[in-house]
Amino acid sequence: MVEKEVIVYRDKEEGFRPNGYVDLQYRYYGDTEGQDDAFSSVNNETKGNGHWNADNNYSRLQLQGKINMTEKQALEYRVRNYNNLSGDDAKHTSNDTETRLRYFYNHGNLGDSKVNLTSRLEYKDVIDPANQQHVEYQARFNFSEYMFNSDFVKTTDFTVAPKYRYVWGSGNNDNYDNQIGADLYTMHELPWGFSFEFNVYATQHFYGQDQFFDAGEKMDDKNFTVDVEAYIYNITNLYTNGNVTVDFNFEGGYDAYSWSQEKKFGAPRGDENSKYYEEYVKANPEGKGVGTENAKYSVYALPTIQLNYQATPNVLLYAAAGAEYRNWAVTSENSASNWRWQPTVFAGFKTTF
């Protein structure tokens, strides 16, 4: 008997490969319902012509995606380009670009616990008259493994994130805002295609310049704010045929409820008899005044019908139409009202790699 040598070949273990996705979307927003109608306000009546919602008849081209560069590092990006389609800058959004970048580093679990620690560094330039930008660091502790889970409710995210943010304007001066605080991010999966998101942002502000509050009755270089978001989501499949699906999508909720220790919300008021009226006019020659309330909120609902086509295992084409229902004009806590519809359509593609 002759023994033969047996050679065993083992498959080569495949290491980590960078992966992620790219999503390109074009979106159009129409004119808000009743846009030219007058509505009640702190001054009894406000004329229409754009005051319901300052952003109408415009488009948004959005490029967003994520790159998992290593097993521990990831980069998210989102670029939004807004275009005014009406030519009326007085009542519609301006032409501008907003960029947001987020870098993540996953430190892993803390010791023998199930608490994950991830660092997040964010840069964002915000579309506003002050041309503000910010950088922010968060230490994100995810406790989702310790949260309540059942056949009906599953907690997929429960993150507590101490943070520091620095905000500055277009000039190289003392117009800045140092912020420290902590955020809470949660996500829960529910039965029948529903999910629920609840977030809290608690922030202590330290301004480089004194800010005006309560219709100019107060100036201070500090303020404490809390913003709360609560959203319900649902996806219901209406039709499926091969690579084609039609879904009914819904999202809505508080976006957001905001509270400020100092009074700054509500209809702006400029009273010549207020304590710091002259200082306000000097600092804001074209300003309309300062609010007199501590809180405001916006509640919305956005139903859409979406058509999806899975062109390849890695490429999804989609298009959707719907309308957003929101209290665009009056958001102060004591007088929020006048919810109106704004139609929207969008289309795009998403590819994974």
Low-confidence ranges of the chain (pLDDT < 70): 1-13, 36-52, 87-94, 129-130
Q: How much of the chain is helix, strand and coil, in % rounded to 5?
A: 5, 60, 35
Which residues 6+ apart lie within 8 Å of 303 measured at CB?
248, 249, 250, 322, 323
Residue 140 burial class via C-beta count within 10 angstroms: exposed 0-12, middle 13-18, buried 19 and up: buried
Instruction: Please answer whether residues 140 and 157 qualify as being in contact, where contact means their C-beta atoms are separated by less than 8 angstroms.
Output: no
Give the DSSP H/E element, type plus range, for residue 280: helix 277-283
CA distances from 15 to 8, 107, 113 (A): 21, 19, 27
Amino acid at 58: Y
CA 239/CA 348 separation, integer angstroms: 20
Going 132 to 252 to 25 to 89, the CA torsion angle's sign is negative
Helix (H, G, I), strand (E, B) or coil at 295: strand
Residues 6+ apart with CB under 8 A from 320: 249, 304, 305, 306, 307, 345, 346, 347
Q: How far is CA 127 from the centre of its chain?
A: 13
Q: Which residues are CB-neighbours of 280 under 8 A, at least 6 positions away?
A: 212, 216, 270, 274, 287, 289, 290
Task: Please state, as a whole number, how many other Cβ atoms lie within 10 Å of the Cβ of residue 248.
Answer: 15
Half-sphere exposure of 171 (CA within 13 A, CB side): 7
Q: Measured between alpha carbons, how far apart are the two ends of the chain, in Å?
A: 54
What's the pLDDT score for residue 77? 98
Instruction: Decide: 81 and 42 in contact? Cβ < 8 Å.
Output: no
Nearest residue to 257 via CA among 227, 224, 282: 227
Distance CA 303, CA 337 (A): 20
Tokens of 24: 């390109």
pLDDT value, residue 2: 53
Q: What digits encode the pLDDT tens for the residues 309-342?
A: 999 999 999 999 999 999 887 787 777 777 899 9
Q: Say what the pTM is.
A: 0.89
Q: What is the CA radius of gyration of the chain?
A: 25
Report pLDDT digits (tens) over 40-59: 554 444 554 445 687 888 99
In angstroms, the CA 11 to CA 353 distance is 23
